[in-house]
Amino acid sequence: MSYSKQLTRFCLALTALATSSIAIQAGSPTGALSKYAESRSWSNDTGQFRIDGKLQSAEDNKVKILKSDNRVITVPLDKLSEEDQKFVNEFLAAEAKQESPANPFAGGEKANPFAGGQPASAMLNDPSQGGIPQKMAVVGGVRPITASPSPGLWDVKPPFALPPLKLHDTIVPLNLPKPFASKLTIGAGGRGPTVVLNNYKQSHRQEENISRFVIYDPVTEQASPIVEYNQPWKLMSVAPNGGMMVAVRDNGWGRGSDLALFKIEDNQLKPLYWFNAVAGDREEIYWASFLPGNRLATISSEKLVIIWDLNNPAGPKAVYQGSTGGPKKAITSPAGELMIFPAGNNIAVVDTINAKLAGWIERETAPTELALSSDGRTLAAFHPFAVTLYSMETGAELKKFAVSHGFSEVNFRWIGDHLMVGNVVYDVQRELAIWNYQGLPDGYDVYYGDYHLAAFGEDKRTTLTIFKLPHAAALAAAENVDPLAVYAMRPGDGVKVVFNLSGAPAQVQQDAQNAVQAKIDELGWVKLDNAVTVMEITVEPLKQDTQDYYVRKGFGPFFAPSFGQPTGPKETVTFTPWKHSLVIKVGGKQIYSTGYTRSAPQNLQLKENESPQAAVNRIVQPDGKSFKTMKVPPHLLKPEYQGGMGSSRLTKAGLN
């Protein structure tokens, strides 16, 4: 019997079996679930038969598959392979979540779940807050956020996905001024999304304090009138359904202790109330984000996490409290069911519905930045020169790949299926730097789904740009690039080492050679005398210099003043700075460098009977062992690929 006849009989048999099944209303993979409608290969539970087609609909016990010839076959779910059953059950679970009334993205914009209950009769109308009424925070009976870290802990329910956005690239001039010394910020939320632009100025002169807000709807392309307050309210977060926002009254550096809640309705901003969200006089709010169930999470300068219930008529009630142990910010899932932050070397995932630690990812290195994909399926962790991806279904590591960014703090965001690291967009599947987007307005932009929204402020107006990234030209440039061909160095590759140590003492030279060999072993490289890649190690004295030290009352014995008038006697010391450098070249072209110069310190702590000159002589010495601790990424991109396949500059006029 031919293979085609076997396949036909297989399909007919499954169709016949399905006719006796109990019917349940079928679901179709559309909208936010459209990824389940992509063509795939289907097989039966024995693996002997296979067809190609798209999932048309599914029920608890049967599946309809649209074949390439546009014929539809119906197959009992339990007759499919284990992999196909898992795929269908995953779709059914995702579909159930989409229909859940708890999902702020489900079925279009429903009634705002973050509206805040009824106004309290005891509201205080404080004119100093720009006419926004005040509610008193209720802080009695706060319960702890349950946290019991343990290896392998993973009781995380996959979060709601942000539905796909249907926007077009656009440039929008808005009549929102940005006067000199004022600041600008932007936020977004909801399916539209609802975009909020905020200009504010904080000053020690009360009459100069001001904040302005504009709401923009990208679907209707309508902007609200400017809403203005005589207090410096700074936007912090927009609710997931776009129906509410929270702002902090800036006391300086964009932080403060008072939070104001606003309702967004019919493209209009309406103030609800403000409240004091901290306990201590000097404590300030660093981070805030909306949670399901009409709640708000805040993190203060004291690393204190509070979950507020906004339904309480008397005022926002603190219902849960905990500590991050270090970070003053977190990330949340698109709908806010999960709050995620670094915990030392590890990653903590808090279920905000039940206020308990639900997931714990153990790592060897501390993540400095975290980002969760808009579909809620993948968590990305950044550590200098590396990104690690984790599954939000299991908590397991998916992959780790190299990036060319070595700073601890970096712009780190998902944009669709890609990652923005610094200014460079990476294809995470191919582990490839695609494009360098320069001119990103730091703090004046937001990533939402696969769109980048940026605000460019001028004295009398603000320009809003909305672009899908990476753009078509960037994707086309990277389409046929072999990801393995972009690296100059990877673990297993050879490197030639050249030492320039003639001016250093013998022991320092020996220490440097040992430290460099240890570093090469750590990177997984191989030391080869004929390698194309060359590592140049230099320890050399620089030109002799002098430094003045003064006795300062209350500041210890000696301090080299950088400002102000010194007090006490002065002593001038001489010293020879020592330069330590590690440079990597390919074909004579530098692809990486690091190092430092050991010089006279800013201040001195003298030993007993020690002079300042003797102390400087003791401190300013070459250190060959320092090469062991220098940061060097194990993967190094070729110079032409370090910024992706090309670059564009984002301006108020668009991508150039």
Report pLDDT digits (tens) over 434-456: 999 988 776 689 999 999 999 99
Position 8 confidence tier, pLDDT thresholds 50, 70, 90: very low
Q: How far apart are CA 42 and CA 44, in angstroms?
A: 7
* Arithmetic mean of pLDDT, 331-337: 95
The set of residues, in sequence order, having a beta carbon less than 8 Å from that of 635 and lying 6+ positions away, is 385, 401, 402, 487, 489, 490, 491
For 270, other C-beta atoms within 10 Å of its C-beta total 11
Half-sphere exposure of 80 (CA within 13 A, CB side): 26
pLDDT at residue 2 tops 50: no
DSSP class of residue 80? B
| pTM of the complete model | 0.73
Which range of 2-11, 101-110, 543-552, 615-624 scores highest in mean pLDDT? It is 615-624
Query: Quick one: pLDDT at residue 30?
Result: 63
Contact 431, 446 (CB under 8 A): no
DSSP string, 475-537: HHHHTT--GGGGEEE-TT-EEEEEEE-TTS-HHHHHHHHHHHHHHHHHHT-EE-TT-SEEEEE
Provide the pLDDT for residue 96: 62
Give the tens place of pLDDT for each residue, 28-56: 676 557 778 888 998 888 877 888 888 88
pLDDT of residue 66: 86
307 sits in which H/E element:
strand 304-309
Q: What is the pLDDT of residue 31?
A: 57
Neighbours of 536 (CB within 10 A): 16
- The reported pLDDT for the residue numbered 129 is 52
What three-state secondary structure class fits 88? helix
For residue 602, the model assigns a pLDDT of: 84
| Percent share of the chain, pLDDT over 70 | 86
Inform me whether the pLDDT recorded for 3 exceeds 80. no
Model confidence at 14, pLDDT cuts 50, 70, 90, reads very low
pLDDT tens by residue, 348-373: 999 999 999 999 999 999 999 999 99
Residue 521 has pLDDT above 90, yes or no: yes
pLDDT band at 554 (very low <50, low <70, confident <90, very high): very low
- CA angle (51, 15, 17) in 5-degree steps: 125
Question: What pLDDT band is residue 594 in, cutting at 50, 70 and 90?
Answer: very high
DSSP letter at 138 equals B
Confidence band, pLDDT 50/70/90 cuts, at residue 497 = very high
Q: Over the stretch 260-304, which tens digit does the pLDDT of each residue have? A: 999 999 889 999 999 999 877 788 999 999 999 999 999 999 999
In angstroms, the CA 596 to CA 105 distance is 51
> How far is Cα of residue 636 from the mean position of the Cα atoms in its chain?
23
pLDDT (0 to 100) of residue 443: 64
Please report the pLDDT score of residue 27 as a whole number: 54
Tell me the pLDDT tens digit for each residue of 150-197.
Answer: 888 999 998 999 988 889 999 999 999 999 989 999 999 998 899 999
Structure tokens at 442: 């730091």
* pLDDT for residue 104: 60
- When pLDDT is cut at 50, 70 and 90, the band that residue 88 belongs to is confident
Average pLDDT, the chain: 85
pLDDT value for 111: 37
Q: Is the pLDDT confidence value at 458 over 60?
A: yes
More confident residue, 475 or 602: 475
Higher pLDDT, 119 or 414: 414
Q: 485 near 202, Cβ under 8 Å?
A: no
Q: What is the mean pLDDT of residues 566-589?
A: 88
pLDDT digits (tens, 9 = 90+) for 91-133: 877 766 655 555 565 444 333 333 333 333 334 444 445 579 9
